[in-house]
Amino acid sequence: MKNIAIIPARGGSKRIPKKNIKNFLGKPIIAYSIETALQSGLFDEVMVSTDDSDIAKIALQYGAKVPFLRSKQTADDFAVLTDVLTEVLHNYQKVNKHFDHVCCILPTAPFINSYDVTKAYNKLIRGNFDTVFPVVRYSFPIQRAMQFDGDHVKMIWPENIHKRSQDLKSSFHDAGLFYWAKTGVILTQKKLWTDNTSAIEINEQKAHDIDTIEDWKIAELKYKILYGSNEKNL
């Protein structure tokens, strides 16, 4: 079976300029995703899909391939991940390169590691799932969530107000690190979440959304606490 890692990294970041190649504790943040993919040993091809020449140059420096640039249609603010993946897979098919599985690895995921990537891949294969991705458990039951109604606070699900936390089912959210999928599912259904999707649970320390400069600073501090430097056990 052949696998491809696709790292989507367009150049049009607005909230954090040049976000995908911004220095994160000594190297461009996209380098963490590239290095993890390469060191996992799972992929026949590790490529970066970008419309930006600076990102392409750095991707090549860290060992990824950039065989073609992303089109304008998949580099605008309205394109979704499956649009990017489909375009990449179609471009490879044009040169007679075919892959059984694709792993979309996000470019701003410094906490990613090959153990979790491999664990998710094994679950995809052994369980014959369409897609598998990492999730994080909510620290507090969302069934006890509240919302403002004017200046009053009300339970969204008032029937749970007297239920013990341990009696409520755990809930999870997307970790925002990577997504494994069967290539055929991406090409035909254009979905990363189907009726045959599963997940692996990871520790919340491994997930961190980076949307603002404040998020970035917190992520760097968190990384230093966890790993001490930019060298970690991948």
Residue 234 pLDDT level (bands cut at 50, 70, 90) = very low
Predicted confidence (pLDDT) per residue in 27-76, tens digit: 999 999 999 999 999 999 999 999 999 999 999 999 999 999 999 888 88
The mean of the pLDDT values for the chain is: 94
What domains, with CATH codes, occur in the chain? 3-135+173-227 (3.90.550.10)
| Angle at which helices 114-126 and 30-40 cross, to 10° | 50
Span 138-193, pLDDT tens digits = 999 999 999 999 999 999 999 999 898 888 999 999 999 999 999 999 999 999 99
62-78 confidence digits (pLDDT tens)? 999 999 999 988 888 88
pTM of the predicted structure, to 2 decimals:
0.93
* Residue in 117, 65, 75 with CA at minimum distance from that of residue 234: 117
Categorize the per-residue pLDDT at 233 as very low, low, confident or very high, splitting at 50, 70 and 90. Answer: very low
